[in-house]
Chains A and B, each alone.
Chain A
Amino acid sequence: MKAMILKEFRQMRRDRRTVALMVGLPLMMLIIFGYAARFDVVEIETAVLGPGADIAAGQLDDAFTVVEQDPAGTAEDARQLLADSRAAVAIVTGAEPTIYVDGTELFVAQSALRRGDSLPAGVEGEILFNPDLSTAAVMVPSLIGLILLFIGTVITSLGVVREREQGTLEQLAVTPLRPSDVIVGKIAPYFVVALIDMVIITLAGILIFDVPFRGSLFLFAVFGLVYLFVVLGLGVLISTVSRSQGEAIQLAIMVLLPQVMLSGMIFPLKSMAEGVRWIGYLLPLTYFVEAMRGIFLKASSFGALVQPLVILVLMAVAVFGLAVWRFRRDVAPRAAATS
């Protein structure tokens, strides 16, 4: 038994990825649960509109961070601010003072409602976009992103690494097929399967969980396509640095886990410590979740989603471009050797 244990430790020590997984993963979990996994929201982005907005803003609890103050603002402006995600809460003063709460920000909304005591007496509350504060309504649009991420990274990388393990990638390199034929031919089926999955999950969310779809189908499709390029690129990129399917799965876990925890899908980004929040801003799922919640629940306009779209497009170009460049070296190795 001693020999067996010793052998196992020796193998473990030499497998750098396993060591990284054993040391890196607990560290990552510690950071995530220590700094990110908070349901309590300490900063509620608030807009105060209407006559006497400055006075009302001064009376608010510290948790309400005033991001906009407009004495000439109306209830319509308040709705628009929430629809564009420029604030999570909007307070409109006047004859019928009202607090509008963005229901798509589940924990922010709950926190705002709990702190209602600091608001002037007689203020009416209205939850927009998700009046029942339904978890499914918020989670299903986000899950689309997570499932596509899973297919993109895990399934795609396994499919490509299998070629390398079987030695068929080299065989492809000696056929007359163009590298672009091989790359597109290899990735296209995963693209199609992921697209079908996206449609199935969306329909299931709408039909089974009664998640409303209020936005533009076109915007939904555009975000879906751009995001697919990012996640498939991640999958191919993982495959180009993995020698075996086991290695690919290890790397895919390292890519998946932070996205689940830090994208704002489960824990609100606003409640995370500053440093950890910035990691969230580097992850594609963060922007896809923002866009899906906006499209499904708020009927967000193109203008409101330009920023996440531009970021996702940049990510798609960078990740997919790098993935194709590295994959090309596998299927056209001579060109790489002479370049």
Chain B
Amino acid sequence: MNAIDVRRVTRQFGSFTAVDSVDLTVAHGEVVGLVGANGAGKTTLIRMILGLLAPTAGRVDVLGAPPSRQGRRRVGYVPQNLGLYRDLTALENLEFRAEAFGSTRHPVPFDGDALVGRLPLGLQRRAAFVAATQHDPAVLILDEPTSGVSPLARSHLWNLIREQADGGSAVLVSTHYMDEAEQADRLVLMSQGRVAGTGTLADIIGPLTAVEVTAERWQQAFELLDGTGPPVTLSGRTIRVLGADQAVVETALAQGPVRARVRSVPATLDEAMVLLDS
């Protein structure tokens, strides 16, 4: 039995369909990354899994039953804004959450009288993670868990997430960062409320490419390429034409003419999201 089982779930707000017939499963011990651009429907889907929103159609099961107050005892959630009381210390936050879940507080390396609002973001995220996992949840849902933290703190947090999964928890991580997506066992890519792809990062990006253009007169090259059809982005002075054919790019540059080094490269996750949305 999957810990999270979402079947053909739709959620509408008036005439706007935020989530459109989505299927999603997360097994125990698995880390699934929910990726997609802002507005893709990730947060709405998470809110339905948490029981904060009712689906307009379809069915959501968490640990074999629709989300309920009793079921929440076995679910941990870290929202993007952390959900900690900034005017309490980390320990006070953990004590409150332990009481709310009726669990015992694990010994954790948080001491001192510093209020959460005054702690570095890395420590705040860690405290939020401990608060969400100290009751040993069978399902753990994390929204952008390492956003804004240092690489070292990020690595440490991912170790903790992996430990949870190894302990049998089903972990669903919402992100639009490529390095976070790489940590997941499996990705579900959402675009405009629908599932646009599933699998590993390589599976999702696999067939998608971009044409990288490096030119001395990069402004002129950009003008020539922009408007030819495919989305064009700029990274430093390097131009990337997403999902384009290399020959088409070379033809467009020849109209300048602009001398440039042109090569086809795999798309990044961000580019994959742009391509799916465009």
Point out residues on A near B: beta carbons under 8 Å.
Answer: 166-168, 170-178, 333-334, 337-338
Contact = CB atoms under 8 A, between A and B. Distances in A.
B73 A170 contact: no
B255 to A, nearest CB: 42
B86 interface: yes
A337 B53 contact: yes
A338 B54 contact: yes
Contacts of B51: 174, 334
B272 interface: no
Contacts of A333: 52-53
A177 B54 CA distance: 19
Contacts of A167: 79, 81-83
B148 to A, nearest CB: 15
A333 B73 CA distance: 18
Contact of A175 (B53, B85, B100): B100
Interface residues of B, number: 23
Given A173-B52, A334-B52, A166 B86 contact: yes
A167 B77 CA distance: 13
Nearest to A169: B83
A168 B84 contact: yes
17 contacts: A167-B81, A167-B83, A168-B84, A170-B83, A171-B83, A174-B51, A174-B52, A175-B72, A176-B69, A176-B72, A176-B73, A333-B53, A334-B51, A334-B52, A334-B54, A334-B67, A337-B54
Nearest to B53: A337
B211 interface: no
A166 B67 contact: no
B177 interface: no
* SS class, residues of chain A in contact with chain B: helix
A174 B81 contact: no
B50 interface: yes
Given A168-B83, A175-B72, A176-B73, 7 more contacts: A166-B84, A168-B84, A174-B77, A176-B69, A334-B52, A334-B53, A337-B53
Interface string B24-52: 00000000000000000000000000111
B155 to A, nearest CB: 26
B81 A166 contact: yes
B108 to A, nearest CB: 18
Nearest to A182: B100
Contacts of B52: 170, 173-174, 333-334
Given A174-B50, A174-B51, A168 B85 contact: yes
Contacts of B67: 334
B107 interface: no
